[in-house]
A = this chain, B = another copy of it.
């Protein structure tokens, strides 16, 4: 049997045990894992140095090397994040519905673990710990397939975590790492119906698209964000500027940052020069439509291709629209259903925007950067779903569960 199939089978057996554990037992295991990451940090850092050395040899960019790099401080943060997951409520067993039918059947709908979750991600060792502990806390076994550039770090981390699990009620086999760095191991995971209950991709657009296009196992798509902020005619300038600057520039590399600013023409005539100057001050490159360039002659021109690009960088498209309808149309055409914002003082326009925009999160007068499990108060985040099935928007622990109907009778039969 292949590595993928062998490990997924072991995970499935372990999932049946994990399904029966109490919250206290799972939390105890998580605390052992957090402690082990600190106690064994020297081993992990040596392994991480192997990955970094190989990366430097291969000319990996400094930003990728930085994502790969572990330090005692970062390991400490990672362990601390595990301890925070311990503090979160366990969704498993939650009673969602309960009722009695006229024939006397008692029906309960309760949360249960999904079973075995496959996570496919990039060369980020912090995701290894984060994904593993979120899955285990919610009662799921997990099969991890991280980017090959982090393989030494991942092997070391998983060895440390599995050793910690071996001293706990959670079977070590509930945590599996696929070490085969060939693309074929990913392909095999994507088709592993019956052993994997769901696959969650975490990473860039091409990684996610490969999973979405080729998986037969159900997928939760965590996705790209081409997010817009629309400043309506009635928007207050100071608020609009603060929100737009925050949405674009507070952390441009993430999916909830803004890529295109839509501005009502009346607002633009009054304020676009000031706004453009503000963006120039903070080194954001601007691309604009014809009207935007009439008002602010020094900005470059924006094409449909620009509107369809997730820059994840200090670049911003500006489009002047004649009204809310044109803004809604643009978002419908170019948005990725992630996070969209209107800045307005007009109640009717706000309500139309919140109602009509098709996205995981719609905002009035607040930065799209808030689309995040921590900012939403979930205490954790396995990703941000941009699909409509199962979970939409930031996903906390409940998104890692399914449900089960428990029906108790006294001999009822159907007539």
Q: Spot the interface stretch: A165-173, A284-292, A356-364.
A: A356-364
Within 8 A of B (CB), among A367-415: 367, 369-371, 375-377, 387-390, 392-393, 402-415
The answer, among B236, B238, B250, B363, for a CB contact under 8 Å with A409, is B363
Whether a CB of chain B sits under 8 angstroms from the CB of A366 is yes
Whole-angstrom CA separation of A365 from B412 in the bound complex: 7
Whether a CB of chain B sits under 8 angstroms from the CB of A274 is no
- CB contacts (< 8 Å) of A405 on chain B: these are 360-362, 371, 376, 392-393
Q: Spot the interface stretch: A48-56, A121-129, A214-222.
A: A214-222
Whole-angstrom CA separation of A197 from B221 in the bound complex: 12
Whether a CB of chain B sits under 8 angstroms from the CB of A115 is yes
Within 8 A of B (CB), among A88-129: 99, 101, 105, 107, 112, 114-115
Whole-angstrom CA separation of A406 from B56 in the bound complex: 45
Q: Spot the interface stretch: A72-80, A239-247, A301-309.
A: A239-247
**Shortest Cβ distance from residue A357 to the other chain B in the assembled complex, whole angstroms:** 9
Whole-angstrom CA separation of A216 from B238 in the bound complex: 44
When A198-B388, A409-B364, A412-B367 are in contact, do A377 and B101 touch as well, CB less than 8 Å?
A: yes
How many residues of chain A have a CB within 8 Å of chain B? 70
- CB contacts (< 8 Å) of A219 on chain B: these are 218
**Shortest Cβ distance from residue A88 to the other chain B in the assembled complex, whole angstroms:** 16
Whether a CB of chain B sits under 8 angstroms from the CB of A159 is no
Whether a CB of chain B sits under 8 angstroms from the CB of A193 is yes
- CB contacts (< 8 Å) of A358 on chain B: these are 16, 19, 112, 115
When A216-B213, A242-B411, A376-B405 are in contact, do A20 and B366 touch as well, CB less than 8 Å?
A: no
Report whether B370 and A414 are in contact in the complex, using a CB–CB cutoff of 8 Å. Answer: yes
When A107-B376, A250-B414 are in contact, do A408 and B365 touch as well, CB less than 8 Å?
A: yes
Report whether A20 and B356 are in contact in the complex, using a CB–CB cutoff of 8 Å. Answer: yes
Whether a CB of chain B sits under 8 angstroms from the CB of A32 is no
Report whether B366 and A412 are in contact in the complex, using a CB–CB cutoff of 8 Å. Answer: yes
**Shortest Cβ distance from residue A349 to the other chain B in the assembled complex, whole angstroms:** 13
Whether a CB of chain B sits under 8 angstroms from the CB of A283 is no
- CB contacts (< 8 Å) of A2 on chain B: these are none
Report whether B212 and A216 are in contact in the complex, using a CB–CB cutoff of 8 Å. Answer: yes
In addition to A218-B387, A362-B405, 16 A-B residue pairs with Cβ atoms within 8 Å of each other are: A16-B332, A19-B356, A115-B388, A193-B212, A197-B388, A242-B413, A246-B413, A246-B414, A250-B415, A361-B405, A361-B406, A363-B408, A367-B414, A370-B414, A388-B402, A392-B405
